[in-house]
Amino acid sequence: MSTRRLVIILLASFSSIGQQAAGQTSHSSKTSQQQFANLGEFKLQSGAVLHDLRLGYRTLGKLNAGRSNAILWPTWLGARSEDLLPFIGPGSVVDTNKYFVILVDSLGNGISSSPSNSRVQPLIKFPKFTIRDMVESEHQLTTKIFQLSHLHAVMGLSMGGMQAFEWAIVFPEFMDLAIPMNGSPQSTASDKLLWTSEIDAIELDPAWNNGNPKGPLMRGIALAAEIGEMNATSPTYVTGHTDTADFESFLAALRKSAINDAGGAWDQIRQREAILALDIPREFRVSLEQAAKHVRSKMLVIVSTQDHVVNPDPAIRFAKAIAAPIIYLDSPCGHRSLSCISVGPTVAQFLADPSSVHTKRCESLNALIALIAR
């Protein structure tokens, strides 16, 4: 499923607080325009250097007098900062009457420095990076460009949630709150099998040419999309919401939307490699529970119990180690459970009063499941 389609279904429930962000864009075009920060030479955790780092971002709302209301929200795998705009504004998940929001294009997403847009390190020459590198680049953006020494919150979905975990460990005093949603502090074997399979599928494309593609990628990138779609929800969901008689049309549309050029394929690979390398306990040479003890911010952890993309177990263990509230989304929608169960109000409540949010289990809303099936 494309990023744009994912955003549409997420709007069905995630942004449902008061006025619907899907129908009322409350931010002005001036404050939500795409902007870029030039951060120069950037040394990666591997020791390699990323030349001329350029980080994309958008801002909404205003900093208060105490400069204490800033929220950082990085993008998920393949997403762009514009995809987060529907969740921002008065009456939405993050209320711009209260908060100053920085939406960040995560490294490698095709907007920020990526294999697809780097002039000096294009495609295969673009070095591997990690989730930690994403966070370090965002920290530079926050401190050097915005001159902020503290954030009210860091939050994110999926790969953005992975970054929220990393932020909470690497810069424990830098934020009041951390809200990882369907993210993880550690990629498990099942996660790695998925990401590796998708990368392998891309590289099997007849046009791949050992990383120097000749023409657009079609077969490999389509196969990777099929693998991703198969894991995005659950067998129960796919069986109940895909018309068997019209399966070929469904498959054709999926494959068509997946076709990508060489740059886009390399962007997908590099971000997946970052997820593959995610292992906060190993990074700090401690157990998962010991790593959690480094957290100083208040944390709200949202997981999907039937998630076949990001195994929820590490996030659950991490949250329990610090007695952080956990929102369990129990839904056959799997990794897309945020599109079936409304958590927007809970997130908004936590941003305003973290002590008022407690662990709870939420089940699917049938009406919303029917909506995303259309």
> Both tokens of residue 42?
């950037």
Contacts of 369 (CB under 8 A, 6+ apart): 237, 241, 331, 332, 333, 340
Q: Per residue in 85-120, pLDDT tens?
A: 999 988 889 999 999 999 999 999 999 999 999 999
Q: Which of 152-161, 184-193, 303-312, 361-370 has the least mean pLDDT?
A: 361-370
DSSP 329: E
Q: Per residue in 338-352, pLDDT tens?
A: 989 989 999 999 999
The identity of residue 166, as a single letter, is E
Contacts of 27 (CB under 8 A, 6+ apart): 60, 85, 88, 89, 96
> Which pLDDT does position 82 carry in this prediction?
96
> Do the beta carbons of residue 362 and residue 327 sit within 8 Å?
yes
**Helix axis angle, 189-203 to 262-276, nearest 10°:** 160
> Do the beta carbons of residue 32 and residue 58 sit within 8 Å?
yes
Residues facing 57 on adjacent strands? 35, 104
Sign of CA dihedral 345, 156, 372, 331: negative
Q: How many residues does the chain have?
A: 374
Closest CA to 185 of 129, 135, 110: 135
How many helices (H) and strands (E) are present in the chain, helices listed first? Answer: 13, 10
> Which pLDDT does position 139 carry in this prediction?
98
E strands within 13-159?
35-43, 49-60, 70-74, 100-104, 151-157
d(CA 334, CA 235): 10
Closest CA to 139 of 32, 274, 279, 37: 37
> Which pLDDT does position 256 carry in this prediction?
84
Q: With 80 as the cut, is the pLDDT of residue 365 above it? A: no
> Do the beta carbons of residue 314 and residue 279 sit within 8 Å?
no
3-class state of residue 86 by DSSP: helix
> Which pLDDT does position 24 carry in this prediction?
39
DSSP 309: S
| This prediction's pTM | 0.91
Secondary structure, 3-state, 182-229: CCCCECCHHHHHHHHHHHHHHHCCCCCHHHCCCCCECHHHHHHHHHHH
Q: Per residue in 7-33, pLDDT tens?
A: 445 544 565 444 433 333 444 444 689
> Which pLDDT does position 17 carry in this prediction?
47
> Which pLDDT does position 252 carry in this prediction?
87
E strands within the chain?
35-43, 49-60, 70-74, 100-104, 151-157, 175-181, 298-299, 301-304, 326-330, 360-363
3-class state of residue 342 by DSSP: coil
Q: Which of 63-72, 187-196, 202-211, 312-321 has the least mean pLDDT?
A: 202-211
> Both tokens of residue 97?
């009457």
Q: What are the structural domains, with CATH classification, of the chain?
A: 3-13+30-187+283-373 (3.40.50.1820)
Alpha-carbon dihedral angle through residues 127, 209, 159, 303, given to the nearest 10 degrees: -140
Q: Which of 124-128, 182-186, 227-231, 251-255 has the least mean pLDDT?
A: 251-255
3-class state of residue 361 by DSSP: strand
